[in-house]
Structure 1
Amino acid sequence: MTDAPKEELDTRRIFRRRRFATPVWWPLPVCALVGLAGGTAYGVLAPRAYDATSYVVAVPETGSDAATALGFAQAYGRISTSTATLAYAQTAAGVPARTLGRHVRTETSPESPMIGITGTATRPGKAADIANAVADALTLSGNGAARNTGVRLVLFSQAVAPSTAASPSRPLAAAVGGCAGGLVGALALLVRPRRKQWSPASNVPAPAGNVPAPAELAQVKEHV
């Protein structure tokens, strides 16, 4: 009789601890919040990057056809970031050729003889200057070989200073950070060890599987 109140008190204590214990899924919201905070901080603190694009079109000369112009547009798109082209453009761009190569990229289409030259910089005006300088250098070098290629390059559209930054996007950075944090939290839940089940009758952790009752054990012994 004296042990009953003690067992009941111990049971209440254990239930109380389990009631206020940290839930097993806590890594998921915590990691998601940490990732969200990190993505937001990156979107706010990372330097802005601006993109400006100029377009050059390949035009067939007399005696050439559109297919020839299309083929040379692909070739000129590849050499627009070459050392020779960037050496011509570095003075107008105000950036050394080695640095200029990291701030310019080109795009071509297999269906159009158009070459898109995009400059990237931390200032809108600088991005436009880089794109226009490379476009002018490519046009100059391409027209110098027009007699041999039968294709002339024409500046179709000059780059203008963009009004908005291309990256980073604050909402996108926050969303990516939150998703990445949630993924890490989910992985943590998968790899963490499971808690043992607790049996209030014995006041000790019980295994997760089914445990035979004492009556069942007695029947097994009688059959044996």
Structure 2
Amino acid sequence: MTETFTARRRPAPFARARTLPPWTLIATGVLAGGLLGGGYGLVTPPTYAATSYVVAVPTEKSDTASALGFAQAYGRVANQIAVLGDAQVWAGVPVRTLQSSVQTATSPDAPMVAITATSSRPDVAADMANAVARALTRHAEDTKDDTHVELQQFARATRPASPSSASPAVTGLVGASAGGLLGGLALLVRPRRTAGEPGGPASVPGPAFAADAHGQL
């Protein structure tokens, strides 16, 4: 009586979930995740990345070790207002855009600074990277007499031919994988079928029932 009352009070969605085949949860998760991931890739504008390189060169009063150290320092100050304030004139974008779109990277083995800019327009990405590299080079030129190190343009950023962001196919695959994983987790926590329900385990007679049947015999 208690089991029947509990089964009637159980919410309908859980009752339906218990009757579904196990593979349907995973298949639903894969399908929903793939659609969401592919849709996200379609509505999100592509992002383009362009990189410009500058190299620190020691003067006659310095050495390679000093140039390597100053390259690390220039990489850290490339996003400062003093540099970006000059770069915005050549890039044609506000300082805030440069701050959020430009990143620098340095190498512990080479006195080189990589300046990477990202934008939804490939020409703007290249212009921003080259503008920051030019501004950084000019600031290094102003302090060359004190640092005995100068920055020189190593490679200009070119207009990227393809976006650096993931395509809708890739985002769809990622979404499908995540959906399949969630479907598998839902399969583990879903209520199990009990005896008497369609597809549930067969009920086994208890000791009392077995004793009554033996007495009737």
Tell me which interval the TM-score lies in, with the shorter structure as reference length.
0.7 to 0.9
Cα deviation digits, residues 197-216 of structure 1 (max 9, x gap): 3389xxx9766xx6545686
Q: Assess if the C-alpha contact under 8 Å between 2:193 and 2:201 holds in 1.
A: no
Shift of 1:22: 3.0
Q: Assess if the C-alpha contact under 8 Å between 1:32 and 1:178 holds in 2.
A: yes
Shift of 1:171: 2.5
Distance change in 2, residues 1:199/1:135 (3 Å): closer
| SS of 1:26 mapped into structure 2 | helix
Q: Write the distance in 1 (CA, Å) between the matches of 2:197 and 2:110.
A: 74
Of 29, 42, 47, the match for 2:45: 47
Distance change in 2, residues 1:216/1:123 (3 Å): same
Bigger Rg over Cα: 1
Quick check: 1:71 aligned with 2:65? no
Q: Write the distance in 1 (CA, Å) between the matches of 2:106 and 2:136.
A: 14
Shift of 1:24: 3.1
Q: Which amino acid in structure 2 is aligned with residue 74 of structure 1?
A: Q
Of 14, 27, 30, the match for 2:28: 30
Match of 1:88 in 2: 86
Q: Write the distance in 1 (CA, Å) between the matches of 2:67 and 2:205.
A: 81
Say how many residue pairs are matched.
Answer: 196
Of 191, 194, 198, the match for 2:192: 194
Q: Assess if the C-alpha contact under 8 Å between 1:43 and 1:168 holds in 2.
A: yes
Q: Assess if the C-alpha contact under 8 Å between 1:77 and 1:108 holds in 2.
A: yes
| SS of 1:29 mapped into structure 2 | helix
Distance change in 2, residues 1:173/1:205 (3 Å): closer
Shift of 1:184: 1.1
Shift of 1:63: 2.0
Shift of 1:155: 0.5
Cα deviation digits, residues 130-164 of structure 1 (max 9, x gap): 00000000000011111111111001010010000
What are the ranges of 5 or more consecutive residues in structure 1 without an aligned counterpart?
Answer: 1-20, 219-224
Match of 2:59 in 1: 61
Q: Write the distance in 1 (CA, Å) between the matches of 2:116 and 2:104.
A: 6
| SS of 2:40 mapped into structure 1 | helix
Percent same amino acid at aligned positions?
A: 48
Match of 1:181 in 2: 179
Shift of 1:28: 0.8
Q: CA RMSD in A?
A: 2.5
Match of 1:8 in 2: none
Match of 2:10 in 1: none
